[in-house]
Amino acid sequence: MIVLKTTKELALMKEACVIAAGALRAAGTAVQPGVSTAEIDKIAYDYITKRGANPTFLNYNGFPATACISINDEVIHGIPSKNRVIKEGDLVSIDLGATLNGFVGDNAATFAAGRISPEAKRLSDTTRESLYEGIKMAVAGGRVGDIGSAVQRYCESRGYGIVREFTGHGVGRNMHEDPAVPNFGTPGRGVRLLPGMTIAIEPMINQGSGAVKVMPDGWTVKTRDGKLSAHFEHTVAVTPDGPVILTQL
Ligand code: MG
């Protein structure tokens, strides 16, 4: 079921989204060679809880941390650990959510640890740019397929693979609501976009094939071919005035 939000509810949700965005920025700023992913996670946890919000991911389906931190060939859902130390040249994707006022803000970004290869930078830049291509299509009267096809075209034309087994999603009082928002699709097809819809658009883009595998920890998703992956996400509201990025600081 798709839940439309009133203007008042969007204002409450915006407050959650701003905390999620601030926590992501704080966590991303801490990405450096020599820092463990557990330390990054702690920064995100402290940021969210000090502002009276709850870390949405913590204990969600048993996930043990505030942030998913996924490095290089890890696509999503990496579990922070004090034993996982970031190295020079790593591509570090952080995904986190904050719950406040009964609403969830969900966002993600990929950060560079020190100097990264030109190939890694191109992948990360393209993934970020594709997110904004998708957001542009989040307009009332459009279709979910418009968003997916915009992301897909942007990335595939640059030689990258689209992860198809995981998608963006509606977000609101729950982290995962309808509709699914795939990073591929056909223009003019899929669920119609209506004012008051709030969706998380989140391209997960691979340097090689889009094929992925889930690791034995039950969470971490990696590329099958061992090549790099990047991930960017915003929570976006469809409004009469066009798309509004709620997780924009
Ligand atoms: Mg999400």
- At 139, which CATH number? 3.90.230.10
Q: What pLDDT sits at residue 247? A: 98
Parallel/antiparallel/unpaired status of strands 91-100 and 103-112: antiparallel
How many Å apart are CA 194 and CA 205, to the nearest integer? 27
Residue 2 lies in a domain: no
Q: What pLDDT sits at residue 49? A: 98
CA-to-CA separations, 86 to 81, 172, 220, in angstroms, rounded: 11, 33, 16
Residue 197 lies in a domain: yes
Check if the beta carbon of residue 55 is closer than 8 Å to that of residue 64: no
How high does pLDDT run on average in the chain?
Answer: 98
Chain centre distance of CA 104: 13
For residue 59, the CA-to-ligand 1 centroid distance in Å is 15
The string of pLDDT tens digits covering residues 196-217 is 999 999 999 999 999 999 999 9
Q: What pLDDT sits at residue 117? A: 98
Report the alpha-carbon angle 202-206-153, nearest 5.
65
Check if the beta carbon of residue 99 is closer than 8 Å to that of residue 117: no
Q: What percent of the chain has pLDDT over 90?
A: 100
For residue 85, the CA-to-ligand 1 centroid distance in Å is 25
For residue 226, the CA-to-ligand 1 centroid distance in Å is 23
SS3 state of residue 130: helix
For residue 8, the CA-to-ligand 1 centroid distance in Å is 23
Residue 120 lies in a domain: yes
Q: What pLDDT sits at residue 68? A: 98
Give 219's pLDDT tier (boundaries 50, 70, 90).
very high
For residue 114, the CA-to-ligand 1 centroid distance in Å is 26
How many Å apart are CA 202 and CA 229, to the nearest integer? 13
User: Which of 93-109 are b and which e, b meaning 16 or more Cβ less than 10 Å from the residue's Cβ?
Assistant: bbbbbbbbeebbbbbbb
Retrieve residue 69's tokens: 């931190």
Average pLDDT over residues 191-198: 98
Q: What pLDDT sits at residue 138? A: 98
Give the domain extent around 194: 7-245
Q: What pLDDT sits at residue 27? A: 98
Q: What is the amino acid identity at position 125?
A: D
Average pLDDT over residues 170-176: 98
Check if the beta carbon of residue 143 is closer than 8 Å to that of residue 214: no
Sheet of 204-206, strand order: 161-162, 204-206, 229-231
Number of domains in the chain: 1
Radius of gyration of the chain (CA): 17
Q: What pLDDT sits at residue 131? A: 99
* Cβ atoms < 10 Å from Cβ of 146: 21
For residue 107, the CA-to-ligand 1 centroid distance in Å is 6
Residue 143 lies in a domain: yes
Check if the beta carbon of residue 77 is closer than 8 Å to that of residue 165: no
**Phi and psi at residue 209, to the nearest 5°:** -70, 155
For residue 243, the CA-to-ligand 1 centroid distance in Å is 17
For residue 174, the CA-to-ligand 1 centroid distance in Å is 11
Asked if the bond preceding 179 is cis, omega within 30° of 0, the reply is yes
Q: How far apart are the first and last CA of the chain?
A: 29
Give 10's pLDDT tier (boundaries 50, 70, 90).
very high
Residue 112 lies in a domain: yes
The string of pLDDT tens digits covering residues 155-167 is 999 999 999 999 9
The string of pLDDT tens digits covering residues 63-113 is 999 999 999 999 999 999 999 999 999 999 999 999 999 999 999 999 999
| Phi-psi domain of 25 (left: phi exceeds 0; alpha: psi -120 through 50; beta: other) | alpha
Average pLDDT over residues 229-234: 99
Q: What pLDDT sits at residue 162? A: 98
Residue 1 lies in a domain: no
The string of pLDDT tens digits covering residues 48-65 is 999 999 999 999 999 999
